[in-house]
Structure 1
Amino acid sequence: MRVRIHRGTREIGGTVVELETEGQRLLLDCGLPLDAVPDAPVLLPEVPGLAGPDPSLLGVVLSHGHRDHWGLLGHAAGTPPVFMGAGTQRILAAASFFIRDVPALKVGAHLQNGCPLSLGPFTVTPHLVDHSAFDAYAFTVEAGGRRLFYSGDIRSHGRKSALFERLVNAPPRNIDVMLMEGSSLGRLDEGARFPTETEIEAELTEVVRKESGMVLVAASAQNIDRVVTIFRAAKRNGRTLVVDLYAAEMLHATQKGSIPQTCWPEVALFTPWHQRVKVKKAERFDLIERHNKGRLFPEDLAAHPERYVVLFRASLLDDLLKAECLSGAHTVWSQWAGYLKDEKTAGLIEKLKAHGIGFEVIHTSGHASIPDLKRLAGAIAPRVLVPIHTFEADRFPSLFENVVVRRDGEWWEV
């Protein structure tokens, strides 16, 4: 089995890994680089089967539903079949109504935890993992008598931490090469750990307790772990979690009865103007109708803002200001702090401050700390460990054993 990493040996995001054996090929992820400029031309990696059909490309196996792992597929004229979790497919399908560049994917099959999938000469075994994306997987790939393990994006401090412990306690054996993400290198000291999702819940609970007005929590609706955390912090304070239609659809797409839904008494839908217009133009009134049980209107928010915690995004601000419900409100930024450097986000913060709305950051990473990466690498004990999804590949040899640093575009034998 041969491997080449098209992107990822020297950067976080844009991951594309190509495997080849017996003249047939498979891709692990096909992501858009994080530094891609919206609406700018996208340069596809030199993978036959992306720019045009090629029967030797058997498909793309997606680790999870973050754009830096699937985003190039919307630019691939070759439309290879895509293999992903059923939850990932449902979330991407639901998101496509709201986000214009989410592609319609040709689904080959759904991944199931621990169930081997045969694709030509390749056998792919998915391992469900803890990550900030719902339905995320690592993979063991067998071909040509060799075994490769790909970590995807992984952590141990989320709500699914038991999955990490299960992987460490019962790892795949006889791994020739391990491709391991290193997102935390350069962001976190070697011995430090990220806060757990439980600790984030405790912090948010205290913020909601002490604030007398509406609390706005800016978090990704696709970070289902975080939405559960926000819901629990609201409920512990006797408040209702308010979501917009996009977030309501993300929660609905999980098809998990244990995850908050708008039919729950502690969850409510508030549909901003731009989403109402979108629904009307598309005549997709069914989207709102399935969430009608818990629907709120501006006058409801204005009457008792202290009763609500809002899953917030910038596009909601004008509607909330018009509702006159933000007197004494407070905002919590609960996603990657790097976004705070964006011009658009900086403008949002200035607007919040101009209206006297407080602001603070409470967040944890979607990626493993260095001590947990060491635990993972030690448990799997690969013959060779190759850094991926990191800006700090050169630091790997000082932290892990059997490291070989590869270059983007370089073919090598497993």
Structure 2
Amino acid sequence: MSHPSPELGTPPALPRGGMRIVALGGLGEIGRNMTVFEHKGKLLVVDCGVLFPEETQPGVDVILPDFTYIRDRLADVVGIVLTHGHEDHIGGVPYLLRERADIPVIGSKLTLAFIRAKLKEHRIAPVTQEVKEGQRLDFGPFDLEFVAVNHSIPDGLAVAIRTDAGMVLHTGDFKMDQFPLDHRITDLRTFARLGEEGVDLFLVDSTNAEVPGFTVAEADLNPAIEQVFRTAPRRVIVSSFASHVHRIQQVLNAAHAHGRKVAFVGRSMVRNMGIAQELGYLDVPKGLVVDLKQLEKLPDNKICLVCTGSQGEPMAALSRMATRDHVIRIGEGDTVLLASSLIPGNENAIYRVINGLTRWGANVVHKGNAKVHVSGHASAGELVYCYNLIKPRGVMPVHGEWRHLRANADLAIRTGVPERNVVIAEDGFVVDMVKGVSKVVGKVRAGYVYVDGGNVGGATEASLKDRRTLAEEGVITVVALIDTDTGELTEEPDFIARGFAADVTTFDAVVPMLRKTLAKAASEGIGDAHQLEQLIARTVSQWAHRTYRRSPLVIPVVVDA
């Protein structure tokens, strides 16, 4: 089994006729999916998504893949294939198109509609190529065939990439729901046909590889959703991903059956559901969806609100309702339905929202206490089924944390894929496929690029560390008037503390220490203001840690007296 190795260095030149595969995101993490394929001097990008920040990354809006690997070769990119319309697969496209706006964006009708709306906000007019399942097109040296797959959003596509080096089949995100709401199942007949032709490398969704059996069908949620609408005494507020068209359809069906009018809340929810309805992916009975102002005139037991914020995002509608910072005021008897999963890392934020809603009297129904969510990803039974159906020569698990990738690799081996042909890679690992055989040959840069407001890439690990320090330890500003000739303080220094518990006497003990430090510096001929500031910062930091077991950020300001 090929796997990460710390001694991996710069990859060698790609062998003639070979294909290079580099994941710039999506391996070892849930999100930021982006894979680059290189063949005959041309590049093909599959997906370009974002990763959402954790609590340890304050101030960060989203995290992008690092485009450094392809930045000098953007002219060689023949297209960006989007497997489906979720943010972790399309959210990074606007930032890549900022660097070359005319890269063709290839995807299904709904996926392209979502990305066009997003790009409009970025003032980018994309070059798009709409495709559908069963279609086969050439982009440069890449022969692409698109295959229908079922996921938690309509119009998902897998893509078979044929080249002289061999065939790769990339599943995108998929599951094998046999009773999908849109009646569009994963095309196992085409998977089998591709297997007969010979799949040299199978890139497989790993998210649920640790989960035994088969993923529950979307339709199995109907009873739980129906019960919520049947028993809720007042308003029903449903929170879901703004792209989860299938789940919203179930909510609309239940609301219609129980005589409730529906209003969408949140810009992305309003935009995406409008697109889905316009294109025919969302069936909305006439008169069911109304404006929020119209809804306010109805009795509470005739109201349903559908909003964003299922992951506890602080600025989303549901979070603002929980903190009483929204025009919609949660009250006693309201029922809040969280119709989504808990993305790893978001648990604390989600439970904070649940607690806030419960405090105001709401009954919160979520995955932990009712069957109101199913995954959009194939479980172990479905993955094994695909391995046995396709019989790939090689496997490279994608889309998952390390434990998911390992579990998926183990499943492949158990179905008969030779262990030497199973590649476990991480972001930045370079995999070369030559004559149908794939192996890790090197590593390239694939770090996090932080979007911080309007700034892309400006925030660094160092600045995030400073932010965490400010949040957890506080800051002390020290203003010192110093005679740089003698190294003496000409008056008592001023201490300004924020987030660090202090009173008027707190810093009395550190002043003698500063005098001693400055006197020693003067005796050694140190009079440069920058050097003195470093000494002051070190002295105050050591004192704070020794005395209070705190490590505040210390900002020294030296004024030459």
Q: How would you bin the TM-score normalised by the shorter chain?
A: 0.7 to 0.9
Determine if contact 1:394/1:405 at 8 Å carries over to the other structure: no
Number of residue pairs matched by the alignment = 378
Aligned to 1:399: 411
The one of 107, 110, 116 equivalent to 1:93 is 116
Q: CA deviation at 1:152?
A: 0.2
Whole-Å separation in 1 of the counterparts to 2:63 and 2:327: 38
Aligned to 1:371: 381
Q: Which amino acid aligns with 1:184?
A: N
SS in 2 for 1:411: strand
Q: In the superposition, relative to structure 1, how do residues 165 and 84 fare at CA in structure 2: closer, same or farther (>3 Å)?
A: closer
How much is the aligned-residue C-alpha RMSD, in angstroms? 2.9
Aligned to 1:281: none
Q: CA deviation at 1:85?
A: 1.8
Confirm or deny that 1:81 pairs with 2:97.
Answer: no
Q: CA deviation at 1:375?
A: 1.5
Taking structure 1 as the reference length, the TM-score comes to: 0.81
Q: CA deviation at 1:130?
A: 0.9
Q: CA deviation at 1:42?
A: 4.8
The one of 288, 300, 310 equivalent to 2:305 is 310
| 1:185-224 equivalent positions in 2, closer than 5 A | 185-186=209-210, 188=211, 190-191=212-213, 193-224=214-245
Determine if contact 2:409/2:424 at 8 Å carries over to the other structure: no
Q: CA deviation at 1:108?
A: 3.7
Whole-Å separation in 1 of the counterparts to 2:162 and 2:328: 57
Q: Which amino acid aligns with 2:273?
A: L
Whole-Å separation in 2 of the counterparts to 1:28 and 1:141: 10
Summarize deviations over 1:389-412 as a string: whole Å, max 9, x none: 122222234312325123232231
| 1:115-134 equivalent positions in 2, closer than 5 A | 115-134=135-154
Where structure 1 has 5 or more consecutive residues not aligned to the other structure, the ranges are 272-295
Whole-Å separation in 1 of the counterparts to 2:187 and 2:135: 19
Aligned to 1:388: 398
Whole-Å separation in 2 of the counterparts to 1:40 and 1:236: 38
Whole-Å separation in 2 of the counterparts to 1:112 and 1:15: 21
Q: CA deviation at 1:55?
A: 2.1
Aligned to 1:345: 350
Higher relative contact order (CA 8 A, sep 6+): 1
Determine if contact 2:24/2:66 at 8 Å carries over to the other structure: no
Determine if contact 1:340/1:346 at 8 Å carries over to the other structure: no
Whole-Å separation in 1 of the counterparts to 2:107 and 2:411: 32
The one of 131, 134, 137 equivalent to 1:114 is 134
Confirm or deny that 1:2 pairs with 2:20.
Answer: yes
Determine if contact 2:49/2:64 at 8 Å carries over to the other structure: no
Q: In the superposition, relative to structure 1, how do residues 264 and 52 fare at CA in structure 2: closer, same or farther (>3 Å)?
A: farther
Confirm or deny that 1:31 pairs with 2:49.
Answer: yes
Q: In the superposition, relative to structure 1, how do residues 95 and 230 fare at CA in structure 2: closer, same or farther (>3 Å)?
A: farther
| 1:8-407 equivalent positions in 2, closer than 5 A | 8-35=26-53, 37=57, 38-39=60-61, 42=64, 44-48=66-70, 51=71, 54-76=74-96, 77-79=99-101, 80-95=103-118, 104=124, 106-144=126-164, 146-157=166-177, 158-160=180-182, 162-164=184-186, 166-167=188-189, 170-172=192-194, 173-186=197-210, 188=211, 190-191=212-213, 193-244=214-265, 246-254=268-276, 255-257=278-280, 259-261=282-284, 264-270=286-292, 296-298=294-296, 300=297, 303-313=298-308, 314-315=316-317, 318=321, 326-338=331-343, 341=346, 344-361=349-366, 362-391=372-401, 392-400=404-412, 401-402=416-417, 404-407=422-425
Q: CA deviation at 1:252?
A: 2.7
Q: In the superposition, relative to structure 1, how do residues 260 and 47 fare at CA in structure 2: closer, same or farther (>3 Å)?
A: same
Q: CA deviation at 1:264?
A: 1.7
Q: In the superposition, relative to structure 1, how do residues 55 and 325 fare at CA in structure 2: closer, same or farther (>3 Å)?
A: closer
Determine if contact 1:168/1:380 at 8 Å carries over to the other structure: no
Whole-Å separation in 1 of the counterparts to 2:270 and 2:398: 34
Q: In the superposition, relative to structure 1, how do residues 118 and 297 fare at CA in structure 2: closer, same or farther (>3 Å)?
A: same
Q: In the superposition, relative to structure 1, how do residues 103 and 175 fare at CA in structure 2: closer, same or farther (>3 Å)?
A: farther
Determine if contact 2:112/2:128 at 8 Å carries over to the other structure: no
Q: CA deviation at 1:119?
A: 0.5
Q: In the superposition, relative to structure 1, how do residues 269 and 86 fare at CA in structure 2: closer, same or farther (>3 Å)?
A: same
| Percent identity between the two aligned chains | 20
SS in 2 for 1:410: strand
Whole-Å separation in 2 of the counterparts to 1:117 and 1:169: 18
SS in 1 for 2:304: strand
Whole-Å separation in 2 of the counterparts to 1:308 and 1:240: 5
Whole-Å separation in 2 of the counterparts to 1:103 and 1:132: 29
Whole-Å separation in 2 of the counterparts to 1:83 and 1:307: 42
Whole-Å separation in 1 of the counterparts to 2:62 and 2:261: 41
Q: In the superposition, relative to structure 1, how do residues 168 and 182 fare at CA in structure 2: closer, same or farther (>3 Å)?
A: farther
Summarize deviations over 1:254-305 as a string: whole Å, max 9, x none: 33446234x722222326xxxxxxxxxxxxxxxxxxxxxxxx242x1xx411
Determine if contact 1:95/1:246 at 8 Å carries over to the other structure: no
SS in 1 for 2:269: helix
SS in 2 for 1:184: coil
Deviates most, 3-12 or 23-32: 3-12
Determine if contact 1:218/1:332 at 8 Å carries over to the other structure: yes
Summarize deviations over 1:323-348 as a string: whole Å, max 9, x none: 66744111111112237845543443
Whole-Å separation in 2 of the counterparts to 1:214 and 1:382: 51
Q: CA deviation at 1:222?
A: 1.1
Q: CA deviation at 1:202?
A: 1.6
Where structure 2 has 5 or more consecutive residues not aligned to the other structure, the ranges are 1-18, 309-315, 367-371, 437-561
Q: In the superposition, relative to structure 1, how do residues 374 and 339 fare at CA in structure 2: closer, same or farther (>3 Å)?
A: closer
